[in-house]
Structure 1
Amino acid sequence: MPTPPPASSRLTVRFWGVRGSIPTPEAGFLGVGGNTACVEVRAADGTALVLDAGTGARALGYALAAEAAGEPGEVHLALSHFHWDHLQGLPFFAPLYAPGQTVRFYAATDDHRIHALLRGQMTSPYFPVPFGDLAAATETVRVHDGEPFGVGPMTVRPFPLNHPQGAHGFRIEADGAVLVYATDYEHGSPAHDEGLREVAHGADVLISDAQYTPDEYALRRGWGHTTWEHATDLAAAAGVGRLLLFHHDPSHDDAALDRIGTLARERFAATELAVEGLEVTL
């Protein structure tokens, strides 16, 4: 069960999945964590916003269901995009199977298409339970670039990212605390890069894609991800308080990520690796 945020906190962030591309349930990888992208953001009043539904959403779903204890409630789930590593946990997300729960999905596409995309991975022969047979009520909300929407006391502003087939990040604010979630982006598009610097400006915490080393990126241009080096430069240029490297490559074991973290701190001292189970209070 998630730990309730301290009474004085404005936002609490917990990482349930930190990998990119595919889970890594292997020895040597589990110190950082093997689940794909899923982040929980809590406001001081307990409102929870889930960012992406990778395989980490399975454990988070069990925790949310235990917290609800059978009572009606709402779960808010914002999707950066619809690539599999950001949806793999959704069929196993316990609140979807709980009568009385409403799961509200936010994404930057029209409502009908959101439902169609979510249904797609739960159709025969891929999964035995159709999306339309879920016990929970499901709702969809289309979000638009730069137009804020509210989740409890949180104000969430979506912004576009440079990624194949498109992706969106989110700037989340509550009582002056600012979190920016920017996964699955590739640097090199001047408009996107400038937009990201602007939206990250002055953030207390920046969660940034950092899938590649500079040498790896040279062989993976156009794949839609950035480097730890670029993430540190972004954090410095935007004047953020704290940088958390995220969306770790499935080929990077704990030792490799430890080296990346050390190198990154030499460029931007307030850098950490996003690690499964890490909880950060703003």
Structure 2
Amino acid sequence: MKQVIFWGTRGSLPTALTSRDIRDKIASALVSANGRNFRNRAALDEFVDSLPFAVNGTFGGNSSCVEILTDEREHIICDMGSGARPLGQAKIARYGVPNPQTYHIFISHLHWDHLMGFPFFAPMYIPGNRIIVHGCHERIEEAFRLQMRAPCFPVDYSQAGAKIEFDLMTPGKPHFICGLNVTPKLQLHAGDSYGYRFDSLDKSVVYSTDSEHKLDDIESFNGFVEFFAKADLVIFDAMYSLAEAASVKSDWGHSSNVVGVELCQAAAVKRLALFHHEPIHDDKQLSRLATETRRFEQITRGENLPLDVVSAYDGLTLDL
């Protein structure tokens, strides 16, 4: 494994910047500029780069879709949220048509925010492509077909040009796929959710979204510590604050930044990516959450090695 690319990082439903959001970013940038003049575009770009991420960028609005790049010619994708649309367009732009490709898609669960991008995934309409959907839900094929059935969608599933296959995986059992050992793990979420651990000879990535962690369930905590153990990267559902996850949104099936840090510290993980962002949180709130999470990691680290904490955004690429 070489890199991880985030194509969609929102939870529950896609979101978009509003005109007010854009105005606020422009106003903040102009205030920071404070009337200064820029000699050329390079000077302007340097100034923009110096601005906080909440001003010069955005976490984006697409729902869950993550790509794992390997040395293999086949493609590995986790979930088919709305981020699958730009991912598919990028693949077509890079490889052209016809140029048959194989896509391995790992589905965490069958809720719509994790499937809705599939009807807009351009490679599925191209003859010669092969799409293998991996998951642990017995109704996974039914769910894919259902969302493309009238009156819900104008293009029926039967019109796909690619060859689409479904692979029912066994939780807790390693499966050798595309040069990797892939192990699914059952997670606490309505209708069940599954995390995936991807192991190559020298790297490990864990994709664990839509998973709730009860503070008093020590057995489950230890099970996830084992699942995350010494991973190079854990992509973690940090949708809520700890207070929300433990009180008003208990049993909603999601976790928090604090629990993510505690699990990853106990598991000696190298990097934690906060993921599945709350759709009502704007860029300022998500940036503040990331800063608070890094501070929490520092003061609770003890004798552990530092845990690198990043907050995932649409378009982020991480080297492994």
Q: Above 0.5 in TM-score? A: yes
Which residue is equivalent to 1:140?
166
Which residue is equivalent to 1:265?
294
Q: Which runs of 4+ in 1 moved over 6 A?
A: none
The higher radius of gyration belongs to: 2
* Structure 2 CA distance for aligned equivalents of residues 89 and 138 of structure 1: 15
Which residue is equivalent to 2:235?
207
Which residue is equivalent to 1:21?
12
Which residue is equivalent to 1:234?
263
- Tell me which of 67, 88, 102 is aligned to 1:74: 102
C-alpha deviation, 1:191, in angstroms = 4.1
- Tell me which of 194, 213, 222 is aligned to 2:251: 222
* Structure 2 CA distance for aligned equivalents of residues 239 and 224 of structure 1: 25
Whether 1:62 aligns to 2:62 is: no
Q: Does the aligned pair in 1 maintain the 2:244–2:250 contact within 8 Å?
A: no
> How far does the alpha carbon of each residue in 1:189-211 deviate from its partner, in whole angstroms, 9 at most, with x for none?
44433221111010011110000
Q: Which amino acid in the other structure matches residue 90 of structure 1?
A: F
* Structure 1 CA distance for aligned equivalents of residues 91 and 287 of structure 2: 31
Which residue is equivalent to 2:75?
48
Which residue is equivalent to 2:32?
none
Of Structure 1 and Structure 2, which has the larger fraction of its residues in strand? Answer: 1
Q: Does the aligned pair in 1 maintain the 2:59–2:313 contact within 8 Å?
A: yes
Q: Which amino acid in the other structure matches residue 275 of structure 2?
A: F
Whether 1:167 aligns to 2:193 is: yes
Q: Which amino acid in the other structure matches residue 19 of structure 1?
A: R
Runs of 5+ unmatched residues, structure 2: 22-53, 298-306
> How far does the alpha carbon of each residue in 1:150-184 deviate from its partner, in whole angstroms, 9 at most, with x for none?
23222211111111110000000112200011100
Whether 1:128 aligns to 2:166 is: no
Which residue is equivalent to 1:3?
none
Q: Which amino acid in the other structure matches residue 231 of structure 1?
A: G
CA-atom RMSD, angstroms? 1.4
Indicate the percent of aligned positions where both proteins have the same amino acid.
37
* Structure 2 CA distance for aligned equivalents of residues 271 and 34 of structure 1: 21
* Structure 1 CA distance for aligned equivalents of residues 85 and 310 of structure 2: 24
Number of equivalences = 271
Q: Which amino acid in the other structure matches residue 237 of structure 1?
A: A
Q: Does the aligned pair in 1 maintain the 2:74–2:101 contact within 8 Å?
A: no
* Structure 1 CA distance for aligned equivalents of residues 62 and 205 of structure 2: 22
* Structure 1 CA distance for aligned equivalents of residues 126 and 176 of structure 2: 24
* Structure 2 CA distance for aligned equivalents of residues 53 and 274 of structure 1: 17
Q: Does the aligned pair in 2 maintain the 1:14–1:280 contact within 8 Å?
A: yes
Q: Which amino acid in the other structure matches residue 172 of structure 1?
A: F
> How far does the alpha carbon of each residue in 1:86-107 deviate from its partner, in whole angstroms, 9 at most, with x for none?
0111110011100111111001
SS of 1:262 mapped into structure 2: helix
Q: Does the aligned pair in 1 maintain the 2:290–2:311 contact within 8 Å?
A: yes
> How far does the alpha carbon of each residue in 1:123-157 deviate from its partner, in whole angstroms, 9 at most, with x for none?
11000111122111100000111112223222211
C-alpha deviation, 1:215, in angstroms = 3.0
Whether 1:155 aligns to 2:146 is: no
Which residue is equivalent to 1:107?
135
* Higher mean C-alpha displacement, 120-129 vs 209-218: 209-218
